[in-house]
Amino acid sequence: MEKHQINFKTASFHQHGWLYQYRPISSGDAIRRLVLVHGAGVAGELSWTFVANYLTSWDEVLILDLAGMGGAEFLHSPVQPHVHDYSLQLLELVEALDWLEFDLAGYSFGGMVAVEFLQNHFSLVSGNDFSGLLFLLEPAMLFSSQVEHLEQKADEYASIADALLKRPNDLDVYRQFLDSVSPNRKPNPQAEQLTMERLQDQPQSFSSVLYAVEAYLKRHLNTFVDWRSPWPGVSFFGGLAPEPMKQRHKKLAADSVQWDCLELPGADHSLVFTKPRGIARKMNEVKLAAIAQSALQSPL
C-alpha cells in the first residue's frame, strides 16, 4: 500500500488528508474508491487509520481532514460553520481530485456531513445520483427515533460547546462530552485521558462542530426520527450504545430498501478505534456483494 498526502487549496478551503492506494492501477481499470469522513475534534487519519488498515475491497481510499481539524482550514472562516459548510468542503475536494464515483463512510459527525453531502451536493459532482454505498457509524442523527431524545442530545452538545469556549483547558468539559456520546463505556482511565488530550488540541474547532451538530439536529428533528436511507449501505453501533440508538439503527435497517445494521459487541462510541477489524470486515463484505450484484445485472 502507498500513502500520499493531500495538501492544496480549493475555492473555500485549505484541503488536507491522505490518499491510500492499495494496489497498482492499470490504464482503463474501473477504480474502486472510498471516502472516509471523521468525527468531531480528531483528525481524519487518526480516526480512520485502524479501519483503513483492514480494508481490502477498494483500490483507493481518501481520508480527509474536515476544516479546523488536522491540517484543513476554512480560507474565509464563517462565524459559525454549519454542516452544510463541511459538506461543501467535501464537494470541493472530490471535484478537485476528479472523483466522480465512490463509496462514502462517515463516523459520528462525519456521518451527518456524508448524508448532507449526498442529499445536497453529490449531484453537482457528475450530474448523476449517488450510486455507491454509504456507511454510517453512530452519527448523532441516529441517536433515537424520539424527537425529545434528539432535542435533548442537541442541547447537551450546545452546553458542552458553551463550556469549551469558556474553559478550553478544563478536562472535565471533555469528560462531559465522553459521558454524552459513551454513557455506558467501561472504565479505562488511560484511554480516556488520551482521548481527552486529543480533543483538547483544537477546542475552538471542536466547539464549532458541536454547535453545528446542535443546529443540524434541531433543524431536522422530525426528518431524522423517521429517516430512511435512499442509498444502499450499513450502519454500525456499539453494543454499549444506549438502547434508543440501538433501536433506531434497527429501525433504519427494517425501513430502508437496501440497508443493514451491525452491532459491535462490547464497543462504545470509540468503535473505530476498538473494533476496526469488525467494521472493515463488514464493509469489505458489503462492497464485494455489491460488485457481484452489479456483474449479474450487467449485459454480457
Q: What is the pLDDT of residue 124?
A: 82
Per-residue model confidence as pLDDT tens digits over 130-144: 999 999 999 999 999
Compute the half-sphere exposure of residue 79: CA atoms within 13 Å on the CB side of its CA.
0
Catalogue all structural domains in the chain, each as residue range(s) with its CATH number: 2-145+226-297 (3.40.50.1820)
Packed helices 109-120 and 203-219: angle between N→C axes, nearest 10 degrees: 50
Q: Is the pLDDT of residue 299 over 90?
A: no
Q: How far apart are CA 88 and CA 66, in angstroms?
A: 10
Compute the half-sphere exposure of residue 270: CA atoms within 13 Å on the CB side of its CA.
21
Mean pLDDT in residue range 174-191:
95
Q: Is the pLDDT of residue 270 over 90?
A: yes
Per-residue model confidence as pLDDT tens digits over 141-173: 999 999 999 999 999 999 999 999 999 999 999
Per-residue model confidence as pLDDT tens digits over 67-102: 999 999 999 988 899 999 999 999 999 999 999 999
Q: Is the pLDDT of residue 300 over 60?
A: no
Phi, psi of 225, deg, nearest 5: -65, -20
Q: What is the pLDDT of residue 26?
A: 72
Q: Is the pLDDT of residue 11 over 70?
A: yes
- pLDDT category of residue 257 using cuts at 50, 70 and 90: very high
- pLDDT category of residue 280 using cuts at 50, 70 and 90: very high
- pLDDT category of residue 297 using cuts at 50, 70 and 90: confident
- Residues with Cβ within 8 Å of 30's Cβ and at least 6 positions away in sequence, in order, are none
Name which of 63, 71, 126 is nearest 98 in CA terms: 126
Q: Is the pLDDT of residue 293 over 90?
A: no
